[in-house]
Structure 1
Amino acid sequence: MADQMQFQRPHPAHLPQNNSNNNTNRPQHPTRYNNNNNNNRTRRKGKYQNGPRQQHHRSQSPPTGPPTSLETTLRELACYDDANESRRRNALDVLEKILYQWSIDLLRADNHNNPWQRPRVAVITFGSYRLGVHRPSSDLDVLALSPPHCTRADFFLSLVDRLDHDQRVTDLHPIPTAYTPVIKFVLQGIQIDLLFARVENANKLFQYQQSQPSLLLRDDEEPIPRNPRIEYSIDNSDLVGQDEAGVRSINGSRVSQCMLSLVPDVNTFRLTLRAVKAWADIHGVQSNVLGFLGGINWAILVARVAMDNPEADAPQLLLLFFKTYSQWKWPEPVTLGEICTEPPPGVMPMAAWNPQVNPRDGLHLMPIITPVFPSMNSSYNIGIPQLRRIQDEMIRAAYALEHARSPGDCTALFRDGGFFRRHSNYLQVNIRARNAEDFLHWFRLCESKMRLLIACLETPEVHAWPFAKFFDRRFGTTHESYFFIALRFAEGVETVDLRYSTSEFLHKINSWEGRKEGMDLSIARVSANDLPSFVLGRATHNKKSNNHNSNNNSSSSNHHNNHHHNNNNNHNYHQQRNKPTINVGLCPRMVPEGGPMSPTKRAKLN
């Protein structure tokens, strides 16, 4: 339990460090930096820098043989999206036609001859859909790889205007100033995040399209073909001439393509990744926005273990996954091969993750490095509370699998983990608005700032234990969402004043110019006995997942919790014996319900 307790200390210097005398329990994988453009990378772990070979995209191909017990469990948890598969394929086809017509119109405006004979925009998927692990709630991540005559300015002007006038498109939200510029919208009920990049040489793009059957000749009412999509294969030549935004936009597809080429068994990788993501969602440790891990992070972690254990099946990989990362000596980075710091020939230099050059990279707590140039830390926003929560849940998961009733039985991973029974004190954050449209905008703003609140709560006297899930409620026309952060306190602390810890967060919220009357946020301290009933035994419920009631498993979960946390009550940070007075009565709340709007108005907490 000594290693486990280290993750409860409040300063990065106190987190587990590399220990050369204690690395025998996990695969050895030294960090490698590639600074040589002439390296031919004959080893499989390093071949990605020149781009994996072109291959058929198999994301939608079903695994061979009858479903395993693990797959059956995941289907019961709604981790598959078979029912909406044709809708997603149809949305991709419609999007391809929209982009084709947009490209043709740009050529016509420039008086090009025979615009129909020019290469069209390639629609390339990435993320969970490309990896074949998407759920019903998953967005569809798409790259529009365009010929040279299309520009990013056209993308955010004429294409956005075209989408805005298309009756099939709703919730259009272009974000041209984002770190990776994106157009967000819903097309025929499918949420799409569309990125843009254009190639300098269109010959490869044209050859790819000549080899594919044209969807432009198929009527929208025709049934969707069941054969797998064949994706455009990106290589280093597609990076030539790209600016930094273009490289970042392309790299989502490159990373997905790379991982599918590196893992020894794609179907085993997919099944394991689905299970890990389901576990993370149930136990409240999955959310990039809240400073936890997201899809790309979990995928790289699973791919690393799969590459190190090519003969393991999915249940074996799950056990190895949790044993490996529950003992990982962060901040040692997880990589899939060489860290790519030098650009391929003809590609502009870009800053890559390299703590030897950039001291700020050395401050990252949980580096999970992307396998293509420029190698980046995909988990740069992980904070101390989030790392503590992830590591704690991984230790519990490893214990549960090692003590399963039978080898390969993974059902314990998907039970309610008892987060709302393990702590005595919580902060409850309520986000509310008077109608659905206002709530959507208000919720997005508050969610984007929640990581700041979590970080501010972390002090030498207080440790924050956030649960990465929102619980949605509706009362008439009022929409409300609840978020919870458990609190533990240093031994000897008698009074905790959270006014300063919450002030910066509330200032950011209050400063938002888009706030309307009825948009409200409140923060209150609640004890374990006063938690709302909808969080107890229903920790898998949120706006993006199905309800999964685990009350029947509470006794076994409590037994495991007691085994795991017997030493926690004797540690410097307590959740049971030490019950200090928590001063949140003077902590400011946003706006009193029903009161007039004022950016500076405050009210006391209830």
Structure 2
Amino acid sequence: MNEKNADAIEVKCRNFLLEHNIIENHADIKKRENVLNLLRSLLSSFVRLTAKENGIKRDDFECQLLPFGSYGLGGYLKDADIDVVLLAPISIRRRNFSNHFSKLLKGHPSIREIEVIERTNVPIIKCVIDSISIDISFVRLRLATVSPDINLLDDSLLNGLEQTCLLSTDGPRVSQFILKHIYPNDLPTFRLALQCIKYWANQRYIYNKPIGYLNGGSWTLLLLQVYFTKRAQFDSSSPNMTMEFPPQQQRQSPFHYSSPPSSPTSILSSSSLSASSSSSQETSSIISPSRTVSFISLLESFFEIWSTWPWPAPVILTKSIPNVPGQPTTEISSITTMSEFKESLLPIVTPCYPVSSAAPCVTKSTLRILTRELQRANQIIHHPFHSLEDMLIKLFKPYNFIKEYRHFLKVTVSSDVMKSHEIWGRRMTHYLYRLVKLVEQAPEIKTVHPLTKVYNESVSYRTKYEEDLLRQGYTVYDTDTTLPLFPGILHMQYFLIGLEIDENYDLEDATIDLTNEIYMFGREVESKKNSKDSDVSVAVSAIKRRDLANLIQRCETI
């Protein structure tokens, strides 16, 4: 395919995503700029309050608020969240962030739904501004002040960081790593391909890391590996070139409002299929080529490579595994001895220290589902269609969960209080993985398919008996009206699982007994509760296809 045709396909695809409200238009982009500017406008007040409390001079330090993740890369979908990190000097403590910054958010009339979440590996403050959800993390660096062009890939910044701050640097560092290793002129193409992949994964219900699939970061790293492969092919066709970005091109991405400053450049071998480590030596740069890869070839290669990848062969984006700053780099072969990857079925190694698994919850069932979906996409994208639009419609066709399975489980989470409903909605996505692992151990079960979409409703009850039925996962119809009235409302969430039965098992002769697996899951969930969860109940039950269709229709019409 010549370059002119490749450009035309890219334009048509971008227009398709715009016309179908999959990506944002210029007005939406401007709205996000304004949201980020509003948050940054609070920094001066935050500095003033913190300086007063800690007894330091107000002009002695600066903080920075940097976006990362999908928004920081520019590869996000319409209505996506914004992840930002508040980088603070050593004179500011985490309690200052939790107390003062949250109060500033609560005091602003345009900011609502503020929630401080502290009991987690990466504590955040959540809020909503102009209908956009924001997650704000915090890193206390051992610096006197934080420069606007800080290079987070400088490993010396990690020396002496407390563990929570170290973990909170992962997302921002990976974002800078990705921006550092993509030629600026390839960024629009990379972003468009990423947006297509994310939308496809959402439509096919394989976009959720805690449940057992991949999230935006995981899909991005897989696309980056494909980009390295394609770029190596380009570089090998020009053996005399070692291309690097000029500092001015690195410092500002075309999405200037959303990209964190990039790091000083490192030399990349023209034949390398993987990037250099993040602590590479600084060097002068030669100008970036006009473009090294087309959108359609990047997308085709993505599905072709990952639909046939020999998992659990690891995906490693660096020449060696990043290690503790100042220590020798770790050999690639040592991945098998790392605790994060000992039982990993789909090992994707994050490219910055501290190294982690980008797909830690993949099970044998969800791996089968991911592979099946990648193979389907690969067949579609290589099939001759009358038009690009026809191909995209087929590729993005929503997955029909009810049609694909005959047997289903329903996990019902019920609570009296809306706050509990919201908290357990987040928690259950992490707990559901354990139920999948337990059920797929049953010899009669071939595949356990957790649906990433969650259904919600609020249901009124008249008696204690009706409440008990609802909490156990039953639908309440007409019940005994002579019972004492005990009216109330339950907030319900339904997590759905499809079951594929092994073809060697004759279901007509017997039923499948999952009592033990469900009991063990129930015990695990109960062990996670605390005194504030007394209103929450979790029940697992079988549900017929007809009843499932009615439940989905009922929840979607609310």
More helix by share: 2
**CA deviations over 1:433-472 (Å, ceiling 9, x no partner):** 5665453234233333222221111123213122222234
Number of matched residues? 450
Letter matched to residue 444 of structure 1: R
1:465 is matched with which residue: 419, 443, 449?
449
2:433 is matched with which residue: 440, 451, 466?
451
**CA deviations over 1:199-222 (Å, ceiling 9, x no partner):** 32346x34x3xxxxxxxxxxxxxx
Q: 1:312 to 1:436 in 2, by over 3 A?
A: same
Q: 1:375 to 1:445 in 2, by over 3 A?
A: closer
Where does residue 525 of structure 1 map in the other structure? 542
Where does residue 242 of structure 1 map in the other structure? 161
Where does residue 56 of structure 1 map in the other structure? none
Letter matched to residue 342 of structure 1: N
CA distance in 2, matches of 1:363, 1:521: 28
CA distance in 1, matches of 2:136, 2:321: 26
- The DSSP-based 3-state class of the residue aligned with 1:134 is coil
- The DSSP-based 3-state class of the residue aligned with 1:482 is strand
Where does residue 13 of structure 2 map in the other structure? 70
CA distance in 2, matches of 1:316, 1:472: 40
**CA deviations over 1:523-544 (Å, ceiling 9, x no partner):** 33234455415759x99x899x
Once the two structures are superposed, the pairs formed by residues 502-521 of structure 1 within 5 Å of their partners are: 502-510=518-526, 512=529, 513-515=531-533, 517=535, 519-521=536-538
Where does residue 387 of structure 1 map in the other structure? 367
Q: 1:152 to 1:349 in 2, by over 3 A?
A: farther
1:256 and 2:175 are equivalent in the alignment: yes
CA distance in 2, matches of 1:483, 1:438: 16
Q: Indicate if the aligned counterparts of 1:273 and 1:299 stay in contact, CA closer than 8 A.
A: yes
Q: 1:111 to 1:374 in 2, by over 3 A?
A: closer
* Structure 2 residue runs without a partner (length 5+): 1-6, 232-291, 461-488
Letter matched to residue 542 of structure 2: R
Q: 1:250 to 1:240 in 2, by over 3 A?
A: same
**CA deviations over 1:26-79 (Å, ceiling 9, x no partner):** xxxxxxxxxxxxxxxxxxxxxxxxxxxxxxxxxxxxxx9997222233234432
1:343 and 2:324 are equivalent in the alignment: yes
CA distance in 2, matches of 1:391, 1:444: 26
Once the two structures are superposed, the pairs formed by residues 317-396 of structure 1 within 5 Å of their partners are: 317-345=298-326, 354-358=334-338, 361-396=341-376
Q: 1:351 to 1:139 in 2, by over 3 A?
A: farther
- C-alpha displacement of 1:501: 1.3
Q: Indicate if the aligned counterparts of 1:122 and 1:232 stay in contact, CA closer than 8 A.
A: no
1:429 and 2:411 are equivalent in the alignment: yes
- C-alpha displacement of 1:269: 0.8
Where does residue 4 of structure 2 map in the other structure? none
CA distance in 1, matches of 2:55, 2:546: 72
Q: Indicate if the aligned counterparts of 2:192 and 2:295 stay in contact, CA closer than 8 A.
A: yes
Calculate the aligned-residue CA RMSD, in Å.
3.4
- C-alpha displacement of 1:402: 2.0
Deviates more, 1:144-153 or 1:234-243: 234-243
- C-alpha displacement of 1:167: 4.5
CA distance in 2, matches of 1:417, 1:446: 22
Q: 1:360 to 1:186 in 2, by over 3 A?
A: closer
1:197 is matched with which residue: 139, 146, 162?
139
- The DSSP-based 3-state class of the residue aligned with 1:427 is strand
Q: 1:343 to 1:436 in 2, by over 3 A?
A: closer
Identity of matched residues, %: 24
CA distance in 2, matches of 1:308, 1:91: 36
- C-alpha displacement of 1:273: 0.6
CA distance in 2, matches of 1:351, 1:91: 43
Q: 1:77 to 1:336 in 2, by over 3 A?
A: farther
1:124 and 2:61 are equivalent in the alignment: no
CA distance in 1, matches of 2:153, 2:202: 33
- C-alpha displacement of 1:290: 1.2
Query: Structure 2-normalised TM-score?
Result: 0.72
CA distance in 1, matches of 2:548, 2:55: 66
- C-alpha displacement of 1:187: 4.0
Return the structure number with greater relative CO, CA threshold 8 A, min gap 6.
1
- The DSSP-based 3-state class of the residue aligned with 2:495 is strand
1:290 is matched with which residue: 197, 206, 211?
211
- The DSSP-based 3-state class of the residue aligned with 2:411 is strand
**CA deviations over 1:539-591 (Å, ceiling 9, x no partner):** 9x899xxxxxxxxxxxxxxxxxxxxxxxxxxxxxxxxxxxxxxxxxxxxxxxx
CA distance in 2, matches of 1:535, 1:327: 34
Deviates more, 1:487-496 or 1:136-145: 487-496
CA distance in 2, matches of 1:309, 1:486: 37
Where does residue 475 of structure 2 map in the other structure? none
**CA deviations over 1:243-296 (Å, ceiling 9, x no partner):** 332222122111111112223411111111111111111111111231210010
- The DSSP-based 3-state class of the residue aligned with 1:159 is helix
1:301 and 2:222 are equivalent in the alignment: yes
Q: 1:351 to 1:435 in 2, by over 3 A?
A: farther
- The DSSP-based 3-state class of the residue aligned with 1:497 is coil
CA distance in 1, matches of 2:524, 2:354: 33
Q: 1:368 to 1:529 in 2, by over 3 A?
A: same
Where does residue 398 of structure 2 map in the other structure? 416
Q: 1:404 to 1:533 in 2, by over 3 A?
A: farther
CA distance in 1, matches of 2:546, 2:87: 54
1:314 is matched with which residue: 295, 299, 320?
295
